[in-house]
């Protein structure tokens, strides 16, 4: 390993010193009032930062983000129900697949380089009673216009379920203002915590729409009941919840807008810095969280990612499948500084033989 390895991956992301300190401590017992208080405060702070409607709830699950997507499908979608899923990349395809797995009749809204601020592509899917969207399609770095999609869902009485896993914290999200019924979060992206904790936020409307759970472990009705007293049906990732509590206190204290401005400044610094290099943005509508790029000089993206790691200790993210040679991704989440961005720009310039 290089003495200093810098992570620019969209999960895990660089973590803050206080997160690391909490991770080094003994995990405490958790079926007590002290821990219930931590969970209830985490819930209140999450709902606050997302401008959740009054009466909304946040439920914590011991699972990666996909577990929370599965929990949503197993508790909000009835067998045979018509579901529309926005598919702009791998995570949209996964959401569609999960809903299908649970017996929904899924139609896919296939999206290219478009953020759906014009909702015309949704028109053919107005019969669906649920719409699934990954606010940031992380596989290609595409940020959707969640507000416009939410308005469409309201007009057509659709339950709007948003996977915000890779844009929460770094990019604005407004449950009440944008008409979102359920939000899915996970610990290892913008929250800058270790992987293993995810959350499902439910508006009052989503709570009323809960179906009998078709998953034993991911039973959101039971989680709602236990969560009312700050507990979870099963052992939660106790240490990650303590890290979340610490992180949310910081976010609430400084204001989540500050986090977003910081991420936006890092993204802008990076995007301006690569201007002289043979790299093109892969999608027009980019989040603060991440930049997806394509080499324009014919060299392979996969080779670039490998070289950046072995030569410079910079860990970028390769794409898989058909995009392996044409797209790679650079995260701007977590405890990243302008100096990290500059070090990456220096490495990229050196790789291309450009002076900076
Ligand atoms: C990371 C991510 C997930 C969850 O992936 P896990 O590996 O299960 O944590 C889901 N949706 C999006 C948009 C993501 O970026």
**What is the CATH number for 336?**
3.90.1150.10
- Contact in structure between 131 and 160 (CB atoms under 8 Å): yes
Residues 182, 116 share a domain: yes
What is d(CA 345, CA 356) in angstroms, rounded to the nearest whole number?
8
Does residue 166 form part of some domain? yes
**pTM (two decimals):** 0.97
Residues 311, 245 share a domain: no
Distance from Cα 300 to the centre of ligand 1, integer Å = 25
* Residue of the CA atom closest to atom 4 of ligand 1: 65
- Contact in structure between 171 and 288 (CB atoms under 8 Å): yes
Residues 104, 53 share a domain: yes
- Contact in structure between 263 and 333 (CB atoms under 8 Å): yes
User: Which pLDDT value is given to residue 4?
Assistant: 82
Residues 239, 95 share a domain: yes
User: Which pLDDT value is given to residue 325?
Assistant: 96
User: Which pLDDT value is given to residue 3?
Assistant: 59
Does residue 1 form part of some domain? no
Residues 259, 226 share a domain: no
Q: Which atom of ligand 1 is nearest to the CA of 67?
A: 8
Distance from Cα 73 to the centre of ligand 1, integer Å = 15
- Contact in structure between 92 and 121 (CB atoms under 8 Å): no
Does residue 87 form part of some domain? yes
- Contact in structure between 200 and 184 (CB atoms under 8 Å): yes
The residue out of 202, 222, 254 marking a domain boundary is 254
| For residue 19, cis peptide bond before it (omega within 30 degrees of 0) | no
Residue with tokens 């002076």: 355
Cβ neighbours of residue 185 closer than 8 Å, sequence gap 6 or more: 46, 65, 68, 164, 165, 168, 191, 198, 199, 200, 201
Distance from Cα 215 to the centre of ligand 1, integer Å = 20
* Residue of the CA atom closest to atom 6 of ligand 1: 65
Cα first-last separation, the chain: 26
Q: Where are the beta strands (DSSP E) in 91-217?
A: 105-110, 130-134, 136-137, 142-143, 159-163, 182-186, 197-202
Local structure of 95: helix, strand or coil: helix
Pocket of ligand 1 from Cβ distances under 6 Å = 11, 64-66, 91, 134, 138, 163, 165-166, 186
The residue out of 215, 233, 254 marking a domain boundary is 254
Give the pLDDT means over successive 10-residue stretches in the chain (356 positions): 81 98 98 98 98 98 98 97 98 98 98 98 98 98 98 98 98 98 98 98 98 98 98 98 98 97 98 98 98 96 97 96 96 97 97 83
Residue with tokens 């302008």: 338
Ordered DSSP codes for 1-48: --SS-EE-SSSS-PPPHHHHHHHTSPPPP-SSHHHHHHHHHHHHHHHH
CB atoms within 10 A of CB 148: 16
Q: Which atom of ligand 1 is nearest to the CA of 188?
A: 9
Q: Which atom of ligand 1 is nearest to the CA of 11?
A: 1
Residues 302, 215 share a domain: no
- Contact in structure between 191 and 169 (CB atoms under 8 Å): yes
Residues 170, 246 share a domain: yes
CATH number at residue 48: 3.40.640.10
Residue to mutate (ligand 1; options 10, 66, 93, 320; most atoms within 8 A of CB): 66
The residue out of 232, 254, 276 marking a domain boundary is 254
In which domain, by residue range, is 64 found?
A: 18-254
Cα-based torsion angle of the residue sequence 110, 112, 117, 123 in order, rounded to the nearest 10 degrees: -30
Alpha helices (H) in the chain, listed in sequence order? 17-23, 33-49, 65-76, 90-101, 146-155, 175-178, 204-208, 220-227, 238-254, 256-273, 301-312, 338-351
The tokens for 252 are 């609430």
């Amino acid at each position: 390993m290089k003495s200093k390895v810098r992570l620019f991956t969209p999960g895990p992301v660089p973590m803050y010193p206080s997160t690391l300190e909490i991770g080094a401590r003994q995990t405490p017992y958790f079926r007590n009032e002290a821990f219930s208080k931590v969970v209830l405060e985490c819930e209140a702070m999450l709902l606050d930062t997302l401008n959740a409607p009054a009466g909304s709830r946040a439920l914590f699950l011991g699972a990666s983000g996909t577990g929370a997507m599965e929990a949503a499908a197993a508790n909000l979608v009835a067998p045979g129900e018509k579901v529309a899923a926005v598919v702009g990349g791998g995570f949209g395809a996964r959401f569609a697949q999960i809903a299908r797995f649970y017996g929904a009749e899924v139609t896919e809204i296939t999206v290219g380089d478009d953020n759906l601020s014009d909702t015309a592509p949704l028109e053919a899917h107005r019969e669906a009673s649920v719409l699934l969207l990954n606010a940031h399609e992380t596989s290609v770095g595409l940020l959707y216009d969640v507000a416009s999609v939410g308005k469409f869902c309201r007009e057509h009485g659709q339950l709007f379920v948003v996977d915000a896993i890779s844009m929460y914290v770094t990019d604005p999200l407004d449950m009440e203002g944008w008409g979102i019924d359920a939000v899915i979060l996970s610990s290892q992206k913008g929250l800058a915590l270790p992987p293993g904790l995810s959350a499902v936020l439910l508006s009052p409307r989503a709570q009323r729409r809960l179906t009998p759970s078709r998953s034993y472990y991911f039973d959101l009705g039971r989680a709602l009941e236990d969560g009312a007293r700050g507990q979870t049906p099963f052992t939660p990732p106790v240490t990650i919840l303590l890290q979340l509590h610490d992180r949310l206190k910081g976010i609430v204290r400084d204001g989540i807008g500050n986090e977003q401005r910081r991420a936006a400044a890092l993204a802008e610094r990076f995007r301006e810095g690569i201007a002289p290099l043979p790299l093109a943005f892969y999608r027009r509508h980019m989040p603060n969280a991440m930049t997806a790029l394509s080499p324009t000089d014919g060299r392979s993206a996969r080779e670039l990612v490998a070289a950046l790691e072995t030569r410079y200790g910079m860990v970028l993210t390769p794409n898989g499948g058909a995009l392996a040679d044409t797209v790679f991704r650079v995260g701007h989440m977590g405890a990243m500084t302008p100096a990290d961005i500059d070090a990456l720009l220096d490495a990229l310039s050196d790789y291309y033989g450009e002076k900076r």
